[in-house]
Amino acid sequence: MKRFRRHGHELNRERIKQDLFQFNKTVEHGFPHQPSALAYCSSLQLMAIGSRSGAFKIYGAPEVEIMGLHEENAAVTQIHFLPEPGQLVTLLDDNSLHLWKVRKSPDGLSVLKEESHFDLRGQPGAPPSVTTITVVLPHSSGDVLFLGTEGGCVFVVEHPSLREQEERTITQEAVLQKVPDDYQSKRSLGSVEALEENPRNPHQILIGYSRGLIILWDLQISEATHQFLGDLQLESVTWQRDGRQIISSHSDGSYCQWPVSNNDRSPQPLENKVPYGPFPCKAIPKILWLTTKQRTPFIIFKGGMPRASYGDRHCISVLHGSKQIAFDFTSRVIDFFVVDEGESKSDSDEPSALLVLAEEELVAIDLKTPSWPVIQSPYLIPLHCSAITCSHHVSNIPVKLWERIIAAGNKQTSHYSTKPWPIDGGYSTASEPPQRDLLLTGHEDGTVRFWDASGVCLKPLYKLGTVGVFVTDADHNDNLNQSGEDEWPPLRKVGSFDPYSDDPRLGIQKIHLCKYSSHLTVAGTAGQVLVLELNDEAADQEVACTLVDILQDQDTFKWKGHERLNPREEPVHFPAGFQPFVLVQCQPPAVVTSLALHSEWKLVTFGTSHGFGLYDYQQKRTVVVRCTLHPSDQLALEGPLSRVKSIKKSLRHSFRRIRGTRASGRKRAIPGNNAAKVQEANARMDREALNEMELAPVQRRIEARSAEDSFTGFVRSLYFADSFVRDGSYHGPSLWAGTNGGTIFAYAITIPSVERRMEEPVTATQVKEIQLMHRAPVVGIFILDGRGILLPEPLEAAHDLSKSPDMHGNHMLLVISEEQFKIFTLPKVSTKNKLKLTAIDGSRVRKVSVASFSSNRVEDYSENGLLVLTNLGDIQVISVPTLRSQVRYECIRKEDVSGIASCVFTKSGQGFYLISPSEFERFSVSSKWVVEPRCIIDIDEGVGTRASQQKAVQDGAVVKANSQESEDSHQMLSGMTKSEDDVRKTAEIMEHALLNDERVLLEIQSTLESDSALTDRLSFGHLDRNSKNSTGIQTPKQRMINGD
Amino acid sequence: MSRSYNKSGTLRCLDRVAVEVKSKFGAEFRRFSLSRYKPGKFAEFYSLIIHTHNISNMDILIGYADVHGDLLPINNDDNFCKAISMANPLLRIFVQRKEEVDYNLFGTDSLTRKKKPLGGLRNDTLRKRVQLSISIPQDFRPVSSIIDVDILPETHRRVRLYKHGCEKPLGFYIRDGTSVRVTAHGLEKVPGIFISRLVPGGLAESTGLLAVNDEVLEVNGIEVMGKTLDQVTDMMIANSHNLIITVKPVNQRNNVNRSSRMSGSSGHSNDSTASHHSLPSAHMVQNYNPEDESDEEADIIIEGCIEPQSIPFKSPSSSFTSSRNNLSQRRQKELPLNGSVRKTNGSILKTLSALKAEARHSLAFSRGGIEEDGTVITL
């Protein structure tokens, strides 16, 4: 009977767990890693970006994004929207074509579904190049696709059945019939480089061959009607809107205009221009000619720069009458398209915006405003403009602070165009976020970016730079980049991606924001700790600098690492926003490894690998400094931790770095900048090291940790709490510090009363020292009140935002080491409860945070729990204070060291981690708070369903996880291992396509070395311009927003 | 000549707390008493013996008669504690000159000694046998044992390594490898974890119970199947204070033959080679009270107080270097509430500071299951 009752209790508990916890990976924030294809659909106002991982996403209005993932692990090289709305075709680099449709999922949301795929097969025995697809042209009739190949043939494939129509294949022989013999004999035609449909006559298509010949093919008579006998290597061909002229671009950086008329079937070029001549220029892989009502066309082309002096630039040039600007991107340009306002019937294109997809960012340029400013993107922001070094999440920001941050951010974006984002298809049905969440990312260049992380779109709010506080070399370089107005070519830098940090010491390592007081503290690589406050006005400020000797005059140690940064002596002008007023400089200037701020007490504490300090930023005085170094720990003083970093980690890191910056790293080989070369060399060395490592058998030493181990003094966690540290009757401010060696120090702090706060000093005395027997690094310290609830944040209770804690003694100290969770009683420290992790399953705690989980069924029911990420990439929820594991989910691959290191949790049970240098994956462990895209793209079913049977969509890219609830719960009951499968099934997301195994990693490496050939092909003419057709068959131009 | 030794006021009246000691050197006897629960250190005891017998000019070896009448040496803190705790009620001490010691007398052959209890003390020179000269171990302390022989298959061996209180490193390495398993589908190659190297002089090597290429099957009762090398490494390190590994020895000739299980108390061995001819088996070392799970986890808590440093503090443990702060510190071994009675030796300071402590300290002091033992040194 008793057992039965207990069983019932467990069942009940399981049900509560289902209401509380659910694991979903919901959306990727940031910019897709390694984008490889771009397409635009003007009728639906949608854009698609494909990546090398085989994934692609459709983007529309902000928060509208739909993901498609190919089963094949091959790069998406081309995407084309088909004339039928909501359909697209993708070409992968394994030469397969895939047809996708936007469908409705059972819960009414739009999802992408692969309908069919097609492999072009040539004659048996023919070399594979014969059928290697170079160009895809979906015909405006919607019936066929034309596929140009490397072999020079154009194949015709039926749509939507994707069946080859062999009898319609346009062979070179057929083309050559009408070509004059003397032209013919000189050369073979080469591969098909361009296929373009006449915008005025759907029966005519242009076929351009790489050796220079362009023909106009009539589909009705299956015959070439016009020949344009070019003798330059052809890169692309485009029609003018009226169908009376074509423009071809060539590998020598020139472009030609050719007349198309029935009088001259083999005309000479009207004009041949080399825009950046006369010296040899690079190829123009793509050119667009857009007409305006004012008759002055826009000529937009990629590349074509003078080979010798600007050959390494990634440029898109826009020519409009006498105005010419070469937009200079910091990473390789993959493709571009133009959004136009021209009506389908009108004679002019009326371009309004130019969207350029570069390797590391998407840039939109407003062509309507005379100065051609950049339009700020609402999504696809390159998070990694400078490498992300840390992140910090603050939940539930007060409206006041939110507005002030936005106001400060708006002052920074005044140079952006006022035009709205030009892509606005579809609409989001996601509910308004329940609260305002802020994600702060620290970057290598010393900036902190503030992001609105409340919803599906990670919106940039504000950017804080800390460089101004210090004297750096960068100051002198600033004016070098500014080129004069009359400079030729007329380069203009656009985009924000800048992988080069002027000084790595500026890197931000720790961030702590108090949302109530608007006090912010950031700490960096060179031991600098800044305290900032929000000021709505720009101001000149002198930053008080205090040097803190962490070693406390122990001269046996010698710091061999970097120097500290030199602060500016004179007052510095800071723009509106967070302005520093205190600088604490740790000496030796080692990386700050932990940081905490208590805005009520006006104290900041910081730890390095040598010890920690407590600083009173009201009186600008150091309160206490404690050196935690073990006397025998020499390594800790040798500076940067390179010597002990695991080789695996450093390898991983360097791969990331190479991948993150490889395009620019190779192309921007400016004399004197050896960074790229050094990086390459390092990568090579790492690779060699990897080989060596694999030759020697991998073995691991088994040894107990001891006090003499290196880096035991490394301060891992710092915590302020108002608790009972001295005795059980009086509580007061305390500081807790945990080290890598499993030692916890507790200090009682005496803070003078408010009236005497400025006169009397703040003092701190050590009251406790706990040495954990297992000596594992202390990754978290928390204090729970008498009811087992975590003490509130500073000022939280004062602002009536949380229940005031139970201050009646019996507080508990929760210590989380990498190996176990332990609750001690206070003030007398003795073990009360513990949970071992490593001893049981070999996993170690990497990140821990306290989160509140609300039930999605019962109102007002919530539980607090510890959200834990282990080194195996598992997410666990541990109950407090009972310390029982509640749920466990596989989240990050355990090989993904950087992903695990970048993980940050929110207070509502969500989290973010980097899946690539530029993308955060968002996940949720809470079943109540799930932020995921819920968007609808309305497609005119009358047209869209012509050939499609409405099958029930089972597993789209974005399935609202709640639809699987019953399944989940079933699995939940049958144990946690099952739920892992469940996770795998639902989470069909970008990350899965990324580097799934070592083999792929190697492949990527090999492509790093030789991908120039590929890239040229990738970026070649696959702009979808079907919508510009005006042939009547074309579906009427429509923008479907908000319901219909 | 007998003297009362005990000067601790609180203990004097409690007869059951005191241990009566009868110490014999040659023909001389001395009698004194010691506290059963606070016996102190061996070094102090040694000097006390020297002092009471007035033999400060010679090197001596101290032995005692245990309950079975065996003559056992007292030469470190552990066996001193053992001797005190086993005394019932009289502790008989035999003091010998080092030069005159007949090492044969010390031994574990209890049967012979039951016949001739303490006979060796007559310096019987007639018993001249060729003996292996085994030096007297300076520190009797288990370093390893084979456990659970009765429940494991004969091909497996469960080894417990006692790292606690030992300066020796564990001293072994593990690697990935493949092992052949019998499964439902016949023989299958599966990945496994193997011992790859033993560090000379390390604990693992000195036990002789582990050898290179032994397959590791379990760590503290948890199977390693399906776990990565790094995971197993972390598990072993996390359990390093009380590591129990189940191995499948590569050399299967030394397996325990269950039918002829030897009785004996020694599961530890100082043989440094891995090739034993026969391995003694034991469930547990008998004369050692193994720390229970939670004791092994005991953390060291130092409650710093804000009183000025009137008490000189000397850290008894070299691993402790935290006395940089100018606070007098009280150290205690924190024990769990489930009441393990294992004690650690403290210093006199503890008792003093405990007595001196204010109310809030005594609050912390009177916890059940937590026991502190200061040494009483008054001569």
Tens digits of per-residue pLDDT, A210-219?
Answer: 988 899 999 8
Decide if B304 and A834 are in contact by the 8 Å CB cutoff.
no
Give, as one character, the DSSP assignment of residue A535.
E
Shortest Cα distance, chain A CAs vs residue B169, angstroms: 6
Top pLDDT among A719 and B58 is at: A719
Sign of the torsion formed by the C-alpha atoms of B218, B219, B222 and B225: negative
Of B175, B239, B299, the CB nearest to A771: B299
How much is the pLDDT for B166?
Answer: 65
**Do residues A142 and A126 lie in contact, with contact meaning Cβ atoms separated by under 8 Å?**
no
Q: How far apart are the first and last CA of chain B?
A: 16
Q: Write down the pTM of the prediction.
A: 0.74
Strand (E) or helix (H) holding B361: helix B359-365
* Chain A residue numbers touching B172 (CB-CB < 8 A): 701-702
> Of how many residues is chain B composed?
379
Top pLDDT among A960 and B165 is at: B165
What band does A6 get if pLDDT is binned at 50, 70 and 90?
low
The closest alpha carbon to A37, from A62, A9, A56, belongs to A56
Of A700, A705, A767, the CB nearest to B233: A700
The closest alpha carbon to A654, from A688, A624, A622, belongs to A688
Tens-place pLDDT, residues A322-356 = 899 999 998 999 999 999 876 666 777 888 999 99
Decide if B322 and A769 are in contact by the 8 Å CB cutoff.
yes
What band does A971 get if pLDDT is binned at 50, 70 and 90?
very low
Tens-place pLDDT, residues A411-423 = 988 888 888 999 9
Decide if B301 and A769 are in contact by the 8 Å CB cutoff.
yes
B298, pLDDT greater than 90: no
Decide if B229 and A700 are in contact by the 8 Å CB cutoff.
yes
Q: Give the least confident one: A599-608, A774-783, A984-993, B43-52.
A: A984-993
Decide if A841 and B222 are in contact by the 8 Å CB cutoff.
yes
Percent share of chain A, pLDDT over 70: 80
Tens-place pLDDT, residues A126-142 = 788 788 999 999 998 88
Q: Give the least confident one: A79-88, B69-78, B128-137, B200-209.
A: B128-137
How much is the pLDDT for B137?
Answer: 55
Top pLDDT among B25 and B66 is at: B25
* Chain A residue numbers touching B197 (CB-CB < 8 A): 699
DSSP strand pairing (A544-549 vs A577-587): parallel
Please report the number of interchain residue pairs, chain A to chain B, with beta-carbon separation below 8 angstroms: 151
How much is the pLDDT for A480?
Answer: 45
A440, pLDDT greater than 70: yes
Nearest CA in chain A to B320: A707
Is A835 touching B (CB cutoff 8 A)? no
Amino acid at B379: L
Residue A737 C-alpha from the chain's centroid: 33
* Chain B residue numbers touching A834 (CB-CB < 8 A): 297
A658, pLDDT greater than 50: no
Tens-place pLDDT, residues A153-188 = 899 998 888 888 888 888 888 888 777 777 766 567
Residues B172-189, mean pLDDT to the nearest whole number: 85
CB atoms within 10 A of CB B212: 15
Distance in angstroms (rounded) separating the CA atoms of residues A192 and B140: 87
What band does B67 get if pLDDT is binned at 50, 70 and 90?
confident
Is A697 touching B (CB cutoff 8 A)? yes
Mean pLDDT across chain A = 81
Structure tokens, A67: 């993901």
Is B3 touching A (CB cutoff 8 A)? no
* Chain B residue numbers touching A827 (CB-CB < 8 A): 360, 364
Tens-place pLDDT, residues A898-908 = 999 999 999 98
Is B183 touching A (CB cutoff 8 A)? no
Q: Give the least confident one: A217-231, A711-725, A736-750, B276-290.
A: B276-290
Residues in CB range of A876: below 8 A, 6 or more apart = A867, A868, A870, A885, A886, A887, A888, A889
> ipTM of this complex > 0.90?
no
Sign of the torsion formed by the C-alpha atoms of A687, A693, A698 and A702: negative
The closest alpha carbon to B171, from B273, B240, B269, B267, belongs to B240
B379, pLDDT greater than 60: no
What band does A940 get if pLDDT is binned at 50, 70 and 90?
low
Structure tokens, B275: 């090739």
Of A767, A771, A871, the CB nearest to B303: A767
**Do residues B204 and B161 lie in contact, with contact meaning Cβ atoms separated by under 8 Å?**
yes
Which of A648, A702, A977 should one mutate to test binding to chain B, selecting the residue with the greatest count of B CBs within 10 A?
A: A702
Mean pLDDT across chain B = 64
How much is the pLDDT for B16?
Answer: 64
Decide if B299 and A631 are in contact by the 8 Å CB cutoff.
no
Shortest Cα distance, chain A CAs vs residue B299, angstroms: 5
Amino acid at A518: S
Q: How far apart are the first and last CA of chain A?
A: 61
Q: Which residues of A, range 765-824, sit inside 8 Å of B by Cβ?
A: 765-774, 776, 819-820
Q: Give the least confident one: A603-612, A729-738, A791-800.
A: A791-800
Tens-place pLDDT, residues A244-299 = 899 999 999 999 999 998 888 888 888 888 998 888 999 999 999 998 888 889 99
Residue B125, judged by CB atoms within 10 A of its CB (0-12, 13-18, 19+), counts as: exposed
Top pLDDT among A663 and A895 is at: A895
* Chain A residue numbers touching B317 (CB-CB < 8 A): none
What band does A434 get if pLDDT is binned at 50, 70 and 90?
confident
Nearest CA in chain B to A818: B238
Q: Which residues of A, range 723-742, sit inside 8 Å of B by Cβ?
A: 726-728
How far CA B77 is from CA of A167, A849, B41, B74, B83, in Å, comes to 99, 45, 6, 8, 10
Decide if B233 and A702 are in contact by the 8 Å CB cutoff.
yes
B323, pLDDT greater than 90: no
Beta-bridge partner residues of B74: B62
Distance in angstroms (rounded) separating the CA atoms of residues A522 and A510: 6
Residue A66, judged by CB atoms within 10 A of its CB (0-12, 13-18, 19+), counts as: buried
Q: Where are the domains of chain A?
A: 32-119, 383-474+486-627, 720-842, 843-937
The closest alpha carbon to A603, from A763, A744, A717, belongs to A763
Nearest CA in chain B to A829: B301
**Do residues A259 and A271 lie in contact, with contact meaning Cβ atoms separated by under 8 Å?**
no
Distance in angstroms (rounded) separating the CA atoms of residues A559 and A134: 58
* Chain B residue numbers touching A776 (CB-CB < 8 A): 238
Shortest Cα distance, chain A CAs vs residue B157, angstroms: 19
Phi, psi of A529 (to 5 degrees): -125, 120
> Of how many residues is chain A composed?
1044
Decide if A698 and B176 are in contact by the 8 Å CB cutoff.
yes
The closest alpha carbon to B217, from B173, B257, B164, B158, belongs to B158
